Amino acid sequence: MKFVSHLDMNRFMIRTVRKAKLPIWYTEGFNPHPYITFALPLSLGFQSSYEIMDIRLTDDNYDINGICEKLNAVCPEYIEFFDACEPILKTRAVAFAHYNITFDDNKKILSLFLEFLNKESITVSKKTKKGDIKQFDILPKIKDLDIKEKNGNTHLSLTLPAGSTDNVNPELLITAFYEQTNTDYYCYSVERDLILDENLKPFR
């Protein structure tokens, strides 16, 4: 699913919900479409094991317990629904996300990355919505950083701000590492495994 953009994911979910025959609520107006949103859009190229999707049904008394089963029955095995519940928090409450990054490097960059993270500051550049480049120090933004060897490769896990107020993509750190240390390039994969609120509690 890595190559599925956020918009594509939305369309995929609409078809899935239709196939599962859930009584989905359609928006009104000239071009009615089903109401489906994600708490935090996923960047192209990332994998995820924790996503929150908000859908609206026409029937308030619809049995919520059977929903996951119905959705899983019409989904490929690489997409699985775990739980369904009434909405608790608003999307606005998303504040952080946790990522796992695995390099395909035979541990070659473990020590280099550790050294890199020990610097006073790490300046990264980010394109703003307006299109200009903004530079900032990424170090103070990082929480729960852990870097270690896993299955013979370098494994990095960290929490970064996410959501509508401040959003920091972990790619910024990796790009900065490669650019600023001139290290040989190794493939890596990024997985997002948690979406968190401001108290670093799982968002739901």
Positions in the binding site for another protein (CB under 8 A): 1-5, 7-9, 11-12, 14-19, 26, 44-45, 74, 76, 78, 104, 187, 189
User: For residue 49, how far is the Cα from the chain centroid?
Assistant: 8
Residue 70 Cβ vs another protein, minimum distance, rounded to whole Å = 13
Name the residue nearer to another protein (CB basis): 18 or 201: 18
Determine the straight-line distance between the first and last CA of the chain, rounded to whole angstroms.
22
Residue 121 Cβ vs another protein, minimum distance, rounded to whole Å = 28
Taking the CB of residue 70, how many other CB atoms lie within 10 A of it? Answer: 18
Q: How far apart are CA 136 and CA 128, in angstroms?
A: 12
Q: How far is CA 144 from CA 51, 147, 157, 159, in A?
A: 20, 10, 8, 6
Q: How far apart are CA 162 and CA 50, in angstroms?
A: 14
Residue 175 Cβ vs another protein, minimum distance, rounded to whole Å = 12
Name the residue nearer to another protein (CB basis): 26 or 62: 26
Look up tokens 């049995």; give the residue.
63
Q: How far apart are CA 161 and CA 167, in angstroms?
A: 5
Residue 76 Cβ vs another protein, minimum distance, rounded to whole Å = 6
Name the residue nearer to another protein (CB basis): 44 or 145: 44
Name the residue nearer to another protein (CB basis): 11 or 119: 11
Name the residue nearer to another protein (CB basis): 8 or 149: 8
Residue 140 Cβ vs another protein, minimum distance, rounded to whole Å = 28
Q: Which amino acid is at 178?
A: Y
